[in-house]
Amino acid sequence: MGYISIYACITIILSINNIIFYTNIINPLFWGGIFTYLIHDVKHYYVRFSSNKKYLAYTIIVVCVYLIIFFYFGFIFGFVKSPYNHKIGAILENFIIYILPIIGIEFTRFVLVNRNKKNKKILIFITIILILLEIQYNTIKNLYYEKEEFFKYILSNVIPLISYSSLYTYLILKGLYLLPIVCRVIHKFITFTLPLLPKTNWFMIGTIGVISPTIIYVLFKYVFMKQSNDIRKKQKNLGTKISYIITISLSIILVCFMLGIFKYEPIAILSNSMTPTFNRGDVLIYKKLNEDELKKIPKTSIIVYSIGEQNIAHRIVEVIKEKDTILYRTKGDHNNASDLNLVKTDQIKGIYMFHIKYIGYPSVWLYDYFNSEEET
Amino acid sequence: MINNKNLIIVALVIVILIMAVGYSAFATQLTLNGTAEITGEWDVKIINIEAQDVSEGSNCGEPQFTNTSAIFSAELNKPGDSITYVVTIENAGTIDAKLDNITFSPDDENGSPAINYTTTEPSKILNAGERTTFTVTVEYDLETTEIPSIKTKTITGIIEYVQK
């Protein structure tokens, strides 16, 4: 464990400066060495656990569910072209540089957790060291002065890394020795080999990265509880299980709602241009429209449309018909003049349904904070 | 006292709420072109667009960009006016990249027919840690005899790199 801790310090120093020699040579060599060194220990523990066929079945189920979810998101949000080179040589190179260290890390976790099963503090220490080994310090350094991107990166990469790493330590502790390594290698492998990947954004990556480890944790907690003979423990865990199910279900619904999977979607109001109809700090709920509905929006309706990455909710003051195209002139209720540009149907995200007062204020504060940082 | 199990529930709720608040604040859309979000190893993206040589009276607007796309909205008043945008792309990841696709599409339907554009190409190879720039110059045609009432033009550029 001492060597791993020292190597974690070396990783932080070299990775923060994005030294390619470290990423491409030192890191794979180190983990390759660890892999060879630990193979005997891994075999030893593997023989002890391999009799439990049930755990192997659970591993296969989790991997299958992961693959289904991976492609399901692609079908909902679409696919984008993968940036990775798919020639055999490049796949092999990516395997050595990026997948081999993962195998090394998971082997290390497996052996260290099994050696220190009864010492909770050491288990926490092992998990922290393994988290530190995987943080992309150069990215954090690059994004540090771009507050908004830094915020997104921490929530979409570092927090999920902490969640998953904690889960993997827990699963190995409970004897599910194969699950972490199989899940991680398959995830990386399909990322490097598939020509198309699901279209994602930081919010989606971050929420999946927090919710899915929690679901897996709850599921296996339930499995282990069922196997337990302690009736008092079973009754105590039942209440916790219900709270987990409620929290996770509500979290999933909230995330799907925010991502626009449902017909209705929310946006936080950042300006007072529509006062008194709704104000800065309110959350507006709008309904998405189909192609026919987009051409028949009546005058005086409030629409949500986008210009670049900015969403605007203003009222239609004129409907302009030009040959086959419909254009809308919009205006904020509080503004003296109409908006400069006419709104095309492909810019419209939906039509206003109702709003909830004040609950968007945290988003407004965050937006103000990041924008004031950019201005200074 | 909060026990371990409740702590996980509380942590999950807090993290999800922070993400939801952040998502609302930045109003990000799911319209990234080309490649997936930044991962540690693959991180090639546009980092800056700067307007240079802006003719007097012209308006360079505020160029918008995502990782792989850029939108330039220029307002030029008279023949001979021009604006040059300098776009900087950075490979902050650990994988060497090569240029796969670069396309520009002007919005001719709503823009002035008298405004044209020319571009230079960024480096074909962008190794890890390197930066490259290219320019987009928007010009009001000098030989125009009729001055159209529309004085603006929007050009959208897609710049995609892939692993070398």
Same domain, A329 and A354: yes
Q: A254 and A268: one domain?
A: no
| pTM (2 d.p.) | 0.77
Q: Check B27 against A311: CB less than 8 A apart.
A: yes
Averaged pLDDT for residues A66-82: 78
A309 inside 8 A of chain B by CB: yes
Flag if A80 and B19 touch (Cβ within 8 Å): no
Q: Which of A195-209, A260-274, B9-23, B137-151 has the lowest mean pLDDT?
A: B9-23
Q: Closest CB to A203: pick one of B9, B23, B92.
A: B23
Mean pLDDT of A168-193: 86
Binning pLDDT at 50, 70 and 90, where does residue A246 land? Answer: confident
Among residues A259, A285, A308, the one where a domain terminates is A259
Q: Evaluate whether B138 touches B156 at the Cβ level (below 8 Å).
A: no
Residue A210 sits at the chain B interface (C-beta within 8 Å): yes
**Domain shared by A251 and A275, yes or no:** no
- Say whether both A273 and A341 belong to one domain: yes
Average pLDDT over chain A reads 82
What are the Cα distances from residue A267, in Å, to A4, A305, B19, B57?
A: 46, 11, 14, 37
Residue from the list A82, A90, A205 with its beta carbon closest to the beta carbon of B37: A205
A199: chain B residues, CB-CB within 8 Å:
30, 32, 36
Q: Do B15 and A202 touch (CB under 8 A)?
A: no
Q: What is the mean pLDDT of residues A366-371?
A: 76
> Which candidate from A82, A200, A260 shows the least CB-CB separation from B37?
A200
A359 and A303 co-located in one domain: yes
**Six-digit token pair at A212?**
């899915």
Q: Which residue on chain B is closest to A85 by alpha carbon?
A: B163
Q: What is the mean pLDDT of residues A11-31?
A: 78
Whether A340 and chain B come into contact, CB under 8 Å, resolves to no
- The residue among A237, A259, A281 that closes a domain is A259
**Confidence label for B54 from pLDDT (cuts 50, 70 and 90):** confident
C-alpha triplet B80, A339, B57: angle, nearest 5°: 20
| Residue B39 pLDDT class (50, 70, 90 cuts) | low
Domain ranges, ordered by start, for chain B: 1-30, 44-163
Q: Which residues of chain B does A148 touch, with a Cβ-Cβ cutoff of 8 Å?
A: 26
What local confidence, expressed as pLDDT, does residue B120 receive? 92
- DSSP for A196-210, written as a single string: EEE---HHHHHHHHH
Distance CA B35, CA B160 (A): 8
Range of the domain at A183: 2-259
| Residue A369 φ then ψ, to 5° | -60, -50
Rg, Å, chain A Cα set: 25
CB-nearest to A156 from B37, B129, B162 is B37
**Together in a domain, A318 and A200:** no
Which domain-ending residue is among A206, A239, A259? A259
DSSP code, position A158: I
User: Which residues, 6+ apart, have CB-to-CB distance to A169 below 8 Å?
Assistant: A109, A113, A123, A126, A127, A130
* DSSP secondary structure letter of residue A347: G
- Is pLDDT at A337 greater than 80 in this prediction? yes
Beta carbons of A199 and A80 less than 8 angstroms apart: yes
CA-to-CA dists, residue A232 to A217, A235, A239, B14, angstroms:
21, 5, 12, 30
Distance from CA of A263 to the nearest CA of B (A): 16
Instruction: Tell whether A239 and A369 lie within a shared domain.
Output: no
Please tell me the distance from the alpha carbon of residue A12 to that of residue A154, in angstroms, as a whole number: 16
Least confident range from A32-46, A259-273, B86-100, B132-146: namely: A32-46
> Any chain B CB within 8 A of the CB of A217?
yes
Is A303 found in the same domain as A347? yes
pLDDT at A259: 75
In CATH, what number is assigned to the domain containing residue A359?
2.10.109.10
Q: Search chain A and give the residue with CA nearest B128.
A: A20
C-alpha distance from A77 to closest chain B C-alpha (Å): 8
- Nearest chain A residue to B94, by CA: A20
Residues A277-325 have pLDDT tens digits of 988 888 888 998 888 888 888 888 999 988 766 788 999 999 888 767 7
Whether residue B25 and residue A364 make contact (CB cut-off 8 A), yes or no, is: yes
Q: Where are the alpha helices (DSSP H) in A81-158?
A: 88-94, 100-115, 120-134, 137-143, 147-153
Q: Which of A327, A323, A320 is nearest to A346 (CA)?
A: A327
Tokens of A366: 């965050």
- Kindly report, residue by residue over B127-154, the tens digit of the pLDDT: 888 899 999 999 988 777 777 677 788 8
| CATH fold of the domain at B44-163 | Jelly Rolls (2.60.120)
Q: To 5 degrees, how large is the angle CA A227–CA A228–CA A229?
A: 120
- Is the peptide bond between A195 and the residue preceding it cis, with omega within 30 degrees of 0? no
Of A80, A151, A370, the CB nearest to B35: A80
Chain A residue with Cα closest to B156: A308
Same domain, A213 and A268: no
Q: Say if the Cβ atoms of A258 and B5 lie within 8 Å.
A: no
Chain B residues closer than 8 Å to A322 by CB: none
Q: Say yes or no: A194 and A306 in one domain.
A: no
CB pair distance less than 8 Å for A251 and B12: yes
Who has greater pLDDT, A7 or B70?
Answer: B70
In the predicted structure, residue B33 carries a pLDDT above the cut 50: no
The partner residue sitting opposite B21, judged by closest CB among A136, A204, A363, is A363
Q: Give pLDDT, residue A208.
A: 85
Structure-block tokens of residue A273? 């241009």
Contacts of A151 (CB under 8 A, 6+ apart): A366, A370, B22
Same-domain check for residues A32 and A101: yes
Chain B interface includes A154 (CB < 8 A): no
Asked if A96 is an interface residue toward chain B (Cβ–Cβ < 8 A), one would say no
Looking at residue B29, its pLDDT comes to: 38
Q: Nearest-CA residue of chain B relative to A84?
A: B163
**Same domain, yes or no: A167 and A299:** no
Q: Nearest CA to CA, how far is A128 from chain B (Å)?
A: 17
Contacts of residue A330, Cβ cutoff 8 Å, sequence gap at least 6: A303, A305, A312, A314, A315, A316, A317, A338, A339, A343
Count of domains observed in chain A:
2
Strand B82-91, strand B44-52: pairing: antiparallel
Minimal C-alpha gap between A78 and chain B (Å): 9
Judged by CB atoms closer than 8 Å, whether chains meet at B19 and A85 is answered as no
Q: List all residues of chain A from 30 to 89 with a beta carbon under 8 Å from chain B.
A: 77-78, 80-85
What's the confidence (pLDDT) of residue B134? 93
